[in-house]
Amino acid sequence: MRVTPHVHCLWLEFEIALPGGRRIPRFVTSYVIEGERLAVVDTSVAPAAPRILACIESLGRKAGDLAHVINTHCHFDHIGGNGVLAERAEPRFHAHPLDRPWIEDLGLQEKGRPVPGMRGICSGPVKVEGALEEGGEVDLGGGVRVQALHTPGHSPGSLSLFVPGDGALICGDVLPEPGTLPIYEDVHATLASLEKLRAVAGAEALLSAMSRKVWRGKEAGEHIDAGEGYVRRIDRLVRRAREEKGPGLTPEEAGRSAFAALGLPPEAMIGIVARTFAAHLAVEPLG
Q: Is-contact 50 12, C-beta < 8 A?
A: no
Answer whether residue 115 shows pLDDT above 80. no
CA dihedral 185, 145, 5, 160 (to 10 degrees): 10
Go through 13-27 and write b for each residue having 16 or more CB atoms within 10 A of its CB, e for each that does not. ebebbeeeeeebeeb
Residue 118 has pLDDT above 90, yes or no: no
Total tally of structural domains belonging to the chain = 1
Phi, psi of 176 (to 5 degrees): -60, 140
Q: 106-110, 220-224, 231-235, 241-245: which range is least confident on average? A: 106-110
Q: Which residues pair with 31 in a beta bridge?
A: 9, 41
pLDDT at 112: 77
In the chain, what percentage of residues exceed pLDDT 70? Answer: 98
Confidence tier at 21 by pLDDT (50, 70, 90): low
Three-class secondary structure of residue 275 per DSSP: helix
Is there a domain that residue 115 lies in?
yes
Mean pLDDT, residues 193-222 = 96
The answer as to whether 132 is a domain residue is yes
pLDDT of residue 135 exceeding 90, the answer is: yes
Distance of CA 116 to CAs 19, 268, 274, 277, Å?
8, 11, 14, 19
* pLDDT band, very low/low/confident/very high, at 261 (cuts 50, 70, 90): very high
Distance CA 176, CA 239 (A): 19
Q: What is the pLDDT of residue 287?
A: 76
**Confidence check: pLDDT of 113 > 90:** no
Residue 14: the pLDDT is: 74
In a domain, 173, yes or no: yes
- Alpha-carbon distance of 243 to 269, in angstroms, equals 21
Which pLDDT value is given to residue 28?
87
| Predicted structure pTM score | 0.94
pLDDT digits (tens, 9 = 90+) for 146-186: 999 999 999 999 999 999 999 999 999 999 999 999 999 99
In this predicted model, what pLDDT tens digit does every residue of 26-76 receive, in sequence order? 788 999 999 999 999 999 999 999 999 999 999 999 999 999 999 999 998
Residue 257 forms part of a structural domain: no
Domain of 204 in residue numbering reads as 2-233
Radius of gyration of the chain (CA): 18
d(CA 56, CA 88): 12
The pLDDT score that the predictor gives to residue 199 is 97
Establish if 70 belongs to a structural domain.
yes
The verdict on residue 269 lying in a domain is no
Residue 149's domain is classified under what CATH number? 3.60.15.10
Average pLDDT, the chain: 93
